[in-house]
Structure 1
Amino acid sequence: MTARAFIVGAARSGSGKTSVAIGLMRALARRGLAVRGAKSGPDYIDPGFHAAATGAPGVNLDSWAMPPAFLGHLAAAQAEAEVLVIESAMGLFDGVPAAPGRSGAAADLARAWGVPVLLVLDVSGQSQTVAAIARGFASHDPGVRIAGVVLNQVASERHERLCRAAVEALGLPVVGAVHRNPDMALPERHLGLVQAREHAALEAFIERLAEVMARSIDLDAVLALARPLDAAGSAGAALPPPGQRIALADDAAFAFVYPHVLGHWRAAGAEILRFSPLADEAPDPSCDACWLPGGYPELHAGRLAAAGRFLAGLRRFAATGSVHGECGGFMVLGRAIEDAGGVTHPMAGLLGQVTSYAQRRMNLGYRQARLIGAAPIGPAGARIRGHEFHYSRVTEPGDDPPLAELADGEGRPLGVSGARRGNVTGTFFHAIAME
């Protein structure tokens, strides 16, 4: 089975892409179609909502971080459905300066596979001017086809009529108009949307989005504009499993794991045993590797500091098994976390750094890493692509050797990063794929 695919794109973040994408996924699934979702770029949150809306795992498709063969491999696997809805990150053409097709923008996917774009335009504060924006998108890149438009944040029937007529005069079909509805808003926090697992009444919320989209958008027209996704590749750039049996921290404090990473670990024969540090659970001692993902440990620092069984068990595990922490996991492996209120909470002490959310600094962007020492994410010398997104600041670096040399998405050196001590390694950057 090869899915008919389309990209839900927009001019910027905050235009309503996620609400439209989630609602369309569920509305199409309610028709009895096998639907899957995908997210362009390095986003942990939206694939969880996609999975909840479709009942099937989501995936990230990142043209900067993933070599073309690996990107095609993941896309082909996700296309084993009837409909694939790909949600763009930020604006449709937003990425970093890079080799052709490797910018990280959703437009790269549209161009590579001929996937048409359903353009969501927030028309609040404008009417006929929306046509100028639509014209710009339609003509900006001849390799990217804008197949239809959804008007979002429509204020009234008259507002819809004016906007619709202006866009359709360009020859672009308007397949829907979503009127203002505060009940559709997704809750947010300092690092973005609240995780799907934390959303109160998630199923009712998704059903409400589906009702709105089914009422506001011509689903038959959306299906008619979708095209079969012709993608193929290989899994050669996938991150290797860090062990045969992997203890994976998994709760509200540790939730940022890419679906494609876990999928490859399982495909390679690894067994994943989940545990909850917030429930004061320790990694299973029968495992040979422990993975502490990113998440929101700063919101739970007091509970983690008081989780004696977790911290003692993690220290025992590190004596013989490998332990790796990404971002929030890296922070917990350190000596302490200072929360936003200025209270310092002791952590595992398996690495030497102290991090602070009281002294905030935004760290955001793609990262290219060369491993100085061996780690669960690869051997010494390995080159890995990923990203960094956090507001914490290292206030005491400790004296552990660094794990990697970093550069940004354009190759500009950023210095060394992370730490390693014995069987324990950690970094602020999230690994996505091998180069």
Structure 2
Amino acid sequence: MQGFVLGGVSSGVGKTVATLSIVQALADAGYDVQPAKAGPDFIDPSHHEAVAGRPSRTLDLWLCGEEGLRRNYHRGDGDVCVVEGVMGLYDGDASSTAMVAEALGLPVVLVVDAKAGMESVAATALGFREYADAIGRDVEVAGIVAQRAHGGRHERGIRDALPEELDYFGRIPPTPDLEIPDRHLGLEMGEEASLPIDALRDAAETLEAERLMEVATDATAPESVPASQGTDAVDARIAVASDAAFRFTYPATIERFRERADLVTFSPVAGDPVPDCDGVYLPGGYPELHAEALESSGTLTELGERASEGLPVLGECGGLMAMSQSLTTVDGERHEMAGILPADVTMHDRYQALDHVELEARDETLTADAGERVRGHEFHYSSAAVDGDAQFAFQTVRGDGIDGDHDGLTEYDSLGTYTHVHAESSAFDRFLERLSA
């Protein structure tokens, strides 16, 4: 599948809006588009899916490794893959947009904020193209999309100023209809605040879909499937929480569960009973926005009882919060949670951790063998005060975890972490294999 990467000159330049506009432009031109996101984000991909009609692939070198990243890319389907970058093109020591583009061998279309410039837009783009050579990266900046650019003289000035080695792929007009509301953790989810289709189509008309298709190239293919990752089916049934409070799941994770086990979903917010299963996965999300419903639904109470009887429960970030004894919102309201883990969680106005993470298992646990290292990502606005007798499954090699030195609270046969992991790590395979043992 051919593709290209949308890189930004910085965070906040409007990459998501540009991505959605380009997806719409290509779709309107008759192409089947596969969206993808460089980096570990869950929110931007929800907007991709709302427009493209298919799940967005997660492409992160730290989470997936180079071969895993390529495998995940090639599991997509369509005529062309549009990869939205993370932060500025070269920003990030673990998995920058430039590193992802290089690993896939894809060209970069640079999103430049043009609201107050013409010649300077060209100078900025040329600098980003030449910087790749300066730092020894095999990255081709093929051209630009001018974000927040007017038509007429403004657009002509930008186009005419570009050197011949940089192509012009169109502009995104400045309009309030192309703004996505945000909150803590980032933008609102795609199903909550999708952009108006008319505004997207208006933006699509100022983009040059056929020229974008001409610049797309075939991505580098993976060489093999590593022997360390299990692919055989296991005799296990896994229940995955899926609702407004638990929505941060990578498509590859659900795919892995479905490939290797029997999967069923349930909604704690709606008060669904815990399904008959061998283990439960509580992904991240926004339990703090639904704390009252979770407290009163009865599902978490039942889950706590089942966990105390030996049902393995794996929770990530929001899942950890729901597994705790209590959750206190920013407004100071305290809500009882499942009571599986010896911790009380409090929400804050500012984020408490944001980083790529590496953990080392202290002993055998649900997602790792003793001494095994797991890579992931953390981004949360809550903190967890743990009881004095709390047991941690992981030492943090990189990242903050729960207390700065550890992550993975463990109680009974259950585990809760602030770290999100990807299916290309061994963690979910270990989890499934533990359930079937």
Q: After TM superposition, is the score higher than 0.5?
A: yes
- Which whole-Å CA distance do the structure 1 matches of 2:349 and 2:157 have between them? 48
Structure 2 CA distance for partners of 1:332 and 1:242, relative to 1, 3 Å: farther
Equivalent residue for 1:81?
Answer: 78
Deviations 1:154-193 (A, max 9, x none): 2453322322222x23531212022201101112111101
Identity of aligned residues (%): 34
Q: Which region of structure 1 is more displaced relative to structure 2, 64-73 or 220-229?
A: 64-73
The 2-side partners of 1:348 and 1:276 are apart by: 14
**Which residue among 391, 412, 415 is the counterpart of 1:425?**
415
Tell me if the contact between 1:360 and 1:393 (Cα under 8 Å) persists in the aligned partners. Answer: no
Task: Report the alpha carbon displacement of residue 65 of structure 1 after superposing the two structures with TM.
Answer: 2.0
Deviates more, 1:151-160 or 1:55-64: 151-160
Deviation at 1:315, TM superposition (A): 2.1
1:53-132 correspondence to structure 2 within 5 Å: 53-78=51-76, 80-96=77-93, 103-132=94-123
Equivalence for 1:247: 239
Q: Distance in 1 between matches of 2:127 and 2:121?
A: 10
Give the distance between the partners of 1:394 and 1:174, measured in 2 at CA: 49
Secondary structure, aligned partner of 1:266? helix
SS at match of 1:394: strand
Distance 2:23 2:282 in 1: 31
From 138, 142, 147, the equivalent of 1:147 is 142
Q: Over the residues paired in the alignment, what is the CA RMSD in angstroms?
A: 2.4
2:60–2:69 CA contact under 8 A, matched in 1: yes
Dislocated runs of 4+, deviation >4 Å = 237-243, 358-361
Q: Tell me which residue corresponds to 2:171.
A: 177
Per-residue deviation, 1:358: 4.5
CA distance in 2, matches of 1:239, 1:305: 37
Please report how far the alpha carbon of residue 232 of structure 1 lies from its aligned counterpart in structure 2 after TM superposition: 1.4
- Unaligned 5+ runs, structure 1: 97-102
Aligned residues: 417
Q: How do residues 230-245 of structure 1 correspond to structure 2 at under 5 angstroms?
A: 230-236=220-226, 244-245=236-237
User: Residues 273-319 of structure 1, C-alpha deviation per residue, up to 9 Å, x if partnerless?
Assistant: 111111011320x2101011111111111111112244224422551
- TM-score, structure 2 length as denominator? 0.89
Counterparts in 2 of 1:228 and 1:401: CA distance versus 1, 3 Å: same
SS of the residue 2:255 aligns to: helix
Q: 1:262 is matched with which residue: 245, 248, 254?
A: 254
Aligned residues of 2:2 and 2:81 also touching (Cα < 8 A): yes
CA shift, 1:28, in A, is: 1.6
Q: Give the structure-1-normalised TM-score.
A: 0.89
Measure how far apart 1:53 and its partner are.
2.1
- Answer whether contact 2:408 2:418 (CA < 8 A) is retained: yes
- What is the match of residue 274 of structure 2? 283
CA spacing shift, 1:233–1:295, aligned 2, 3 Å:
farther
Matched residue type, 2:55: P
SS in 1 for 2:292: helix
Structure 1 residue 409: Cα displacement: 6.5
Aligned-partner SS, 2:321: helix
Whether the 8 Å CA contact 1:254–1:329 is kept in 2: the answer is yes
> Does the 8 Å CA contact 2:303/2:338 hold for their aligned counterparts?
no
Change (3 A) 1:363 1:338: same
Partner of 2:186: 192
In structure 2, stretches of 5+ residues that fail to align are 427-437
Tell me the equivalent position of 2:434: none
Alpha carbons 1:243, 1:289 under 8 Å: kept: no
1:339 matches 2:329: yes
Counterparts in 2 of 1:422 and 1:283: CA distance versus 1, 3 Å: same
